[in-house]
Amino acid sequence: MSQADTRKSIFITGAASGMGLATAQLFASKGWFVGATDVNQAGLDAFAKDAGADNCFTSVLDVRDGDAYAQVLKDFAAQTGGTLDLLFNNAGIGAGGFFDEMNFDDVMAVVNINFVGVMRGIHLAYPLLRATPNSLCFTTSSSSATFGMPGIAVYSATKHAVKGLTEALSIEFARHGVRAADVLPGLIDTPILPEGTQDGAPSEGMFRLMPASSVADAVWAAYHTPDRLHWFVPEEIGELDKAAGNTPELVREQIKNTGPLAAVIKEMEERAAAAK
């Protein structure tokens, strides 16, 4: 008998901190068998200690390593009898700055982790999802997938790609009974945020600071809501998504001149000018 027994299972990348950890903790508390992976061994060990060794599978995993990813999924599947109820592609990194001033190796690291790593995980895990009734392929996109965000252009581009991939796969995978959806978080209190961001975050509005648990709640709700494609955290992000689709030029001017990123952009420009 597998370690998971008859329990539902979730496999999470980027599970050692932030949204991934909050999701791992929530699903473990709900009685699911949790596969938690990350590059952070200490964070995984702390989760395993809290969840209990019988309730989880943990492994260090860099999503850029295809061979390692395939082996980790094989080891996980051995504990679940070859099934997977929910794949949560959450691992991601951020790198900010003006695109033309970024080191291209940093650019490609964002692309390879945030998008190529997501595609790799979905492709490798799909046989497990297909073997499991009502399974869900769920991925972390971002509010920056509503409109390309200055200062994080490459990150934003990868999240647009994730959103588009999810929409296409939600149609393709339906032929095998597998669902696909994503979450588009706004400003979430996680280690990926630049230092000091929390202090300057607005207390209200769509870019107010939200706890990592709010994303975990969205993952839980997504599994139990078969027809919904995009999950916005907070819900107001959905209004930005609509506006960006209907009036992108207006949204561009608002972001540039009066939006929540205007002050950040101005500071970046002043810092760049001072460095010359």
Each residue's pLDDT tens digit, 94-151: 988 999 999 999 999 999 999 999 999 999 999 999 999 999 999 999 999 999 999 9
Q: How far apart are CA 208 and CA 143, in angstroms?
A: 12
Structure confidence by residue, pLDDT tens digits, 7-41: 999 999 999 999 999 999 999 999 999 999 999 99
The answer to whether residue 251 sits within a structural domain is no
* pLDDT at residue number 1: 45
The answer to whether residue 1 sits within a structural domain is no
The answer to whether residue 207 sits within a structural domain is yes
Alpha helices in 89-196 (DSSP H): 104-111, 117-130, 153-172
The answer to whether residue 249 sits within a structural domain is no
Active-site positions? 155
* pLDDT at residue number 49: 97
Total number of domains in the chain: 1
Q: How far apart are CA 221 and CA 239, in angstroms?
A: 20
The answer to whether residue 263 sits within a structural domain is no
The answer to whether residue 54 sits within a structural domain is yes
Q: What percent of the chain stands above pLDDT 90?
A: 78
Q: With 0-12 CB in 10 A as exposed, 13-18 as middle and 19+ as buried, what is 102? A: middle
**Residue 69's domain is classified under what CATH number?**
3.40.50.720
Report yes or no: 28 and 36 within 8 Å, Cβ to Cβ.
Answer: no
pTM: 0.90
Residue numbers of the domain that contains 228: 9-238
Structure confidence by residue, pLDDT tens digits, 55-108: 999 999 999 999 999 999 999 999 999 999 999 999 999 988 999 999 999 999
Q: How far apart are CA 39 and CA 61, in angstroms?
A: 5
The answer to whether residue 248 sits within a structural domain is no
What does the angle CA 235 – CA 237 – CA 243 come to, to the nearest 5 degrees? 125
* pLDDT at residue number 259: 54
Structure confidence by residue, pLDDT tens digits, 151-164: 999 999 999 999 99
pLDDT mean across residues, the chain: 91
